[in-house]
Amino acid sequence: MFDGLKDKLSSFREDATEEVEEKAAEVEAEAEAEAEAEAETTEEPTTEESAEPDDGDDSDDDGPGRLKRAAAFATGRVIIEEGDLEDQLWDLEMALLDSDVEMSVAEEMLESIRESLIGETRAQVETTEELVTEALHDALLDVIAVGQFDFERRVREADKPVTIVFTGINGVGKTTTIAKLSRYFEERGLSTVMANGDTYRAGANEQITEHAETLGTEIITHEQGGDPAAVIYDAVEYAEANDVDVVLGDTAGRLHTSEDLMEQLSKIDRVVGPDMTLFVDEAVAGQDAVERAREFDDAAAIDGAVLTKADADSSGGAAISVAYVTGKPILFLGVGQGYDDLERFEPEELVDALLGDGED
């Protein structure tokens, strides 16, 4: 998962480490050579020489910064200057954009890396590579972990039934995600009922009903063309009457530009007042998924996102970008077609995996 992005981050880490160490070593060697040359040519000053005033001009030494940098490196510390990593940072930015990371997210990451690495003296606790890895880790985590909350705890502590509505365009796996979450909750002792608010798509009732029957979960449906808000409202009433913990409401696949479908979603908000609205899209959609997440959030105020087909995504752009551009967290990753192929999104674990410190 996200192997392409992992490779690009690894290349930056290796190139940046090599560049910093090479430049630091060059400066140290130059400073040592200059010191040796000065020691060899130092003699007692003549009367004429001693009469020369010392104007304090260090311009011939190319400034004290270079000597300070050499001394720092020689004593186990490193100073990374502004120009040291510009080529590598440019390459990283292009690599991130090539991996479908949204431009503002890539820019935020690069700025974070610059602030972490450039212009300060830092102890080489282990290696220069660890300095670069730490900067990458923090930059990734800052954009990936935006808005994270304890999803299961929020559901458990909320008044029952908890109503969760799912939005997104057709064909991204909303209905299958609902089935997976039904299994997820049931395995944790929370009962569920599904509601087919996708009343306009031919075959939608059959699809969600098949999932419900396989899982042994109750399903509320109306005739095709019915009112989606009424379906989900009936499911809430069923849950209240039967002590069901969670209502999982499907909706018709829609684009934010479809006014009638967005009005249906608005009506569901008014009639049902869902506790959460989750946006579902495919991780492999990359920039399209990021843009749709932004547009759906603008139109319907989502609470979080689920990315399907994450196991087939090598770029990782959507996973890196969705939370940052919406301010709402990615909560789950779909990693297969089975009901158990749903993983809680853990930012720390993803960052560790991308940087080679955890399992993919």
Residue carrying structure tokens 């630091």 = 24
| Residue range 151-347 in CATH 3.40.50.20 | no
SS3 238: helix
In the predicted model, what is the mean pLDDT of residues 127-143? Answer: 86
State pLDDT tens for residues 295-322: 888 877 899 999 999 988 878 888 889 9
Residue 316: per-residue pLDDT: 84
User: Who contacts 199 (Cβ-Cβ below 8 Å, separation ≥6)?
Assistant: 222, 223, 224, 225, 226, 227, 228, 231, 252
Superfamily of domain 3-41+64-144: SRP54, nucleotide-binding domain (1.20.120.140)
Where do the structural domains in the chain lie, given as residue ranges? 3-41+64-144, 151-347
Q: What is the pTM of this model?
A: 0.80
Q: Which residue has the higher pLDDT, 239 or 125?
A: 239
Q: Which residue has the higher pLDDT, 132 or 157?
A: 157
Q: Given a cut of 80, is residue 260 above it in pLDDT? A: no
Secondary structure E strands in 80-238: 121-123, 162-167, 192-197, 218-220
Range with lowest mean pLDDT among 160-169, 222-231, 321-330: 222-231
State pLDDT tens for residues 25-57: 776 676 667 667 767 776 555 555 544 555 544
Pairing relationship of beta strands 192-197 and 246-251 according to DSSP bridges: parallel
Instruction: Please answer whether residues 344 and 320 qualify as being in contact, where contact means their C-beta atoms are separated by less than 8 angstroms.
Output: no
State pLDDT tens for residues 177-190: 999 999 999 999 99
Residue 29: per-residue pLDDT: 72
Taking the C-alpha atoms of residue 85 and residue 104, their distance in angstroms, rounded to an integer, is: 20
SS3 62: coil
Residue 28: per-residue pLDDT: 63
Instruction: Please answer whether residues 256 and 297 qualify as being in contact, where contact means their C-beta atoms are separated by less than 8 angstroms.
Output: no
Q: Given a cut of 50, is residue 358 above it in pLDDT? A: no
What pairs with residue 196 in β-bridges?
250
In the predicted model, what is the mean pLDDT of residues 83-112? Answer: 88
Question: Quick one: tokens of 342?
Answer: 């749903």
Q: Given a cut of 70, is residue 78 above it in pLDDT? A: no
Average pLDDT score over the chain: 82
Q: Given a cut of 90, is residue 197 above it in pLDDT? A: no
Question: Quick one: tokens of 264?
Answer: 């249906």
In the predicted model, what is the mean pLDDT of residues 11-17? Answer: 84
